[in-house]
């Protein structure tokens, strides 16, 4: 497969690759649109139970392709900042936000650099695995820009706002080890892609109804008032309890066998 983003599906796992390795997977408008389209296509595929997102070549993503600044006809105008018809995100936010909209877990594997737009895409994932020697940065300030790829929705439950301000104002690079210490990444692995695939495989043998319900619940209820959050928990449980996949989970455990779930 070719193109700025490629994907394949096997054993219920979709593997999505940022595919401009000669440009350190720098993000241009074509890649932005391809990420959104890929996320939406996978969201509509009931056989997909987990997604692994990574970068081809030696880096996850070096950030924005500077050609966007140099080409006055690159296509970034006011219309790019208007919400899309079917999402609260706009064209520039959607490459990161689409991974929150996807109903299944998304695990991002980072190696090399994850700068600016690249880090913000990773923040859209549910889990982030990185190499200890990876380098991460909210780097938009280098170009005189405000970080605007959905970071106000993806990072607010990960870091305290003072840490976010410090990183965004300075644009400083942090290693994978520092990122783990501050909570910016979920875990460190020498081979984050292999670790992400292992976690995805573990997720895929669980009830897909419950897995999707967990993501939806935590993404929507986390910041709601207690009364609303508790109602949403109950509603999420009622959607799965007593249904075919939930009963199969019970029977498989009681019979000490591998479960067989419907997509």
What tens digit of pLDDT does each residue of 29-72 get?
999 999 999 999 999 999 999 999 999 999 999 999 988 777 65
In the chain, list all ranges with CATH 1.10.12.10. Answer: 207-254
Taking 90 as the threshold, does the pLDDT of residue 254 lie above it?
yes
Condensed to tens digits (0 to 9), the pLDDT of residues 176-209 reads: 999 999 999 999 999 999 999 999 999 999 999 9
CA dihedral (67, 21, 89, 107) in degrees, to 10, reads: -160
| The CATH number of the domain covering residues in 207-254 | 1.10.12.10
In the chain, list all ranges with CATH 3.90.226.10. Answer: 5-203
**Mean of the pLDDT values across residues 145-156?**
95
The bridge status of strand 13-18 relative to strand 5-10 is antiparallel
Helix (H, G, I), strand (E, B) or coil at 44: coil
Kindly report the pTM of this predicted structure: 0.94
**Mean of the pLDDT values across residues 224-235?**
97
Asked whether the beta carbons of 27 and 63 are under 8 A apart, the reply is yes
Condensed to tens digits (0 to 9), the pLDDT of residues 87-132 reads: 999 999 999 999 999 999 999 999 999 999 999 999 999 999 999 9
> Domain 5-203 belongs to what architecture?
Alpha-Beta Complex (3.90)
Distance, in Å, from the CA atom of 143 to the CA atom of 56, rounded to the nearest integer, reads 25
Distance, in Å, from the CA atom of 20 to the CA atom of 36, rounded to the nearest integer, reads 16
Measured from the Cβ of residue 159, the count of other Cβ atoms closer than 10 Å reads 17
Asked whether the beta carbons of 133 and 176 are under 8 A apart, the reply is yes
């Amino acid at each position: 497969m070719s193109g700025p983003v490629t994907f394949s599906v096997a054993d219920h796992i979709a593997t999505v690759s940022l595919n401009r390795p000669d440009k350190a997977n720098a993000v241009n408008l074509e890649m932005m649109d391809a990420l959104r389209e890929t996320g939406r296509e996978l969201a509509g595929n009931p056989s997909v139970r987990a997604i692994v997102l990574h970068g081809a070549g030696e880096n996850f993503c070096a950030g924005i392709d500077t050609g966007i600044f140099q080409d006055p006809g690159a296509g970034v105008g006011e219309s790019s900042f208007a919400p899309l018809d079917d999402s609260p995100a706009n064209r520039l936010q959607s490459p990161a936000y689409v991974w929150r909209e996807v109903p299944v877990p998304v695990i991002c594997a980072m190696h090399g650099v994850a700068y600016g737009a690249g880090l913000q895409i990773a923040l859209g994932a549910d889990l982030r695995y990185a190499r200890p020697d990876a380098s991460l940065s909210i780097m938009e300030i280098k170009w005189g820009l405000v970080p605007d790829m959905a970071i106000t929705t993806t990072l607010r439950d990960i870091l305290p706002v003072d840490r976010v301000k410090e990183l965004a104002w300075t644009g400083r690079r942090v290693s994978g080890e520092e990122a783990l210490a501050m909570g910016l990444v979920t875990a460190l692995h020498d081979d984050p892609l292999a670790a992400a695939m292992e976690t995805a495989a573990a997720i895929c043998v669980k009830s897909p109804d419950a897995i999707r319900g967990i993501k939806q619940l935590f993404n929507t209820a986390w910041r709601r008032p207690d009364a609303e959050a508790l109602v949403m928990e109950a509603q999420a449980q009622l959607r799965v309890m007593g249904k075919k996949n939930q009963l199969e989970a019970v029977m498989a455990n009681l019979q000490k066998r591998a479960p067989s779930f419907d997509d």
